[in-house]
Amino acid sequence: MNRTISELIIGFLKGSLDKEEKDEFYNWVNRNPKNKEIYFEAKNIYDVCLFENKTIDVDESWQRLLQKKHEQTSIKTYNLWQRISSYAAIAVVAIILTSAFFIIQNDGQQQLMIAQYIGGDGLEADKIILPDGTLVNIGSRTKFYYAPDYGKKQRIVYLEGEASFDVAKQKSRPFIVKISGQEVEALGTKFNIMAYPNDSVIATTLLEGSVRLTAENMSKPIILTPNQQFVYNKKARVAKIYQVDASLYISWVDGYYYFPDQKLGVILDRLSHLYGITFDIQSPKLQNEKFTGTFYRGQTVKDILEIIKLSIPIKYQIDEQRVTISE
């Protein structure tokens, strides 16, 4: 490995990795659940420390963080800050903590926020329990965070990627998910959002309760009822509501990915997020060929392509992190 794990994590968080280094990072983070845990907790602390940079003293916050854990566990801690760089210290914190403790300065008052991270096994989803008890299942290659003022007047979270939410009811504090060009407000509910930045569509699927959606170029909010799916095409700026079996669209939490009569291009886009590989479909005709089926996260890419091949006549070549598809 050309760069240390700490350098890879911080470089990824800062967006400074080149393509080769990104591939190196993705390979490491998906190697085992412990690596995911290290990355996620480092990211949480990194995001919070940088959120209000004019008021946060990262060095003091780090020292208070270690002191807080020391008081709770009576385990001797060392001044890591003096031994390694500040960014590396943030990356190592996951080894010390079992939960992420965020200590920040806000108008002279200390505020402690706790988000419990529950690592998956590489097949099932990773989970986060937010300070209010809301459960979030995190999809592959997903960015998720919330602001330090979470829970004061509103509960606002930010998402790039896929996540399912089981929202704790607090009528006086709306729960809002902010994604590219949209806001989804939950009214005590269970729902799933798929909103990867490079995808052309954003899909919100409701399991229980109701959600209120607002989006660019929409004159008024839309209210979803259970088993409805709101699909917004970012390029065409067109929105549609479908009646679906919502449980199928949250099966990924348990490691199952269901594709109901989906175009091959859409399926491979989803798999690219899941496996961290690039699919190059060389035939426009194949892009629109449709397939229905369910895949399990434990299957290899080759296994999945062989299953697709039974329904759609394709040829494929796997070259490390790139797969070429042809007729």
Indicate the fold that domain 124-249 takes in CATH. Answer: Jelly Rolls (2.60.120)
CB 206 within 8 A of CB 177: no
Q: How far apart are CA 7 and CA 234, in angstroms?
A: 34
Q: How high is the mean pLDDT of the chain? A: 75
CATH 3.55.50.30 residue window(s) in the chain: 255-326
Nearest to 192 by CA among 252, 147, 236, 239: 252
Q: Residue 121 — pLDDT band, cuts 50, 70, 90?
A: low
Higher-pLDDT residue of 144 and 14 is: 144
Q: Among residues of the chain, what percentage have pLDDT more than 70?
A: 72
- Mean pLDDT in residue range 232-249: 87
Q: What are the φ and ψ backbone dihedral angles of 228, each rounded to 5 degrees? A: -110, 145
Please give the Cα distance from 122 to 140 (Å, whole number).
10
Say if residue 3's pLDDT is above 70.
no
Query: Which one has a higher pLDDT value, 141 or 230?
Result: 230
Average pLDDT, integer, range 148-160: 87
Residue 7's nearest CA partner among 57, 58, 42, 53 is 42
pLDDT > 90: percent of the chain: 17
Residue 46 — very low, low, confident or very high, per pLDDT cuts 50/70/90?
Answer: low
Residue 176: the pLDDT is 94
For helices 86-96 and 5-14, angle between their N-to-C axes, nearest 10 degrees: 110
Tokens of 152: 């004061």
Question: Would you place residue 165 in the very low, low, confident or very high pLDDT band (cuts 50, 70, 90)?
Answer: very high
pLDDT confidence bin for 196, thresholds 50/70/90: confident
Name the more confident of 7 and 322: 322
Find the mean pLDDT for residues 30-37.
71
Ranges of CATH 2.60.120.1440 domains, the chain:
124-249
Considering only CA atoms, which of 34, 43, 48, 53 is closest in space to residue 11? 43
For residue 230, the model assigns a pLDDT of 94
pLDDT band at 30 (very low <50, low <70, confident <90, very high): confident
Give the strand order in the sheet containing 322-326: 278-281, 322-326, 315-319
Q: pLDDT tens digits, residue range 306-321?
A: 888 888 888 889 987 8
Confidence at residue 67, expressed as pLDDT on a 0 to 100 scale: 53
- Asked if pLDDT for residue 226 goes beyond 90, the answer is yes
What is the reported pLDDT for 104? Answer: 36
Q: How far apart are CA 117 and CA 127, in angstroms?
A: 6
Over residues 56-107, the pLDDT tens digits come to 444 454 445 445 444 444 433 333 333 334 434 444 443 333 334 443 334 4
φ and ψ at 2, to 5 degrees?
Answer: -75, -30
Residue of higher predicted confidence among 165 and 283: 165
Measured in residues, the chain has a length of: 327
The yes or no reply on domain 255-326 and CATH 3.55.50.30 is yes
Q: Tens of pLDDT along 254-313?
A: 888 888 778 888 888 888 888 888 899 888 888 888 888 888 888 888 888 888 888 888
Question: Model pTM?
Answer: 0.65
Q: 75 and 66 in contact (C-beta within 8 Å)?
A: no
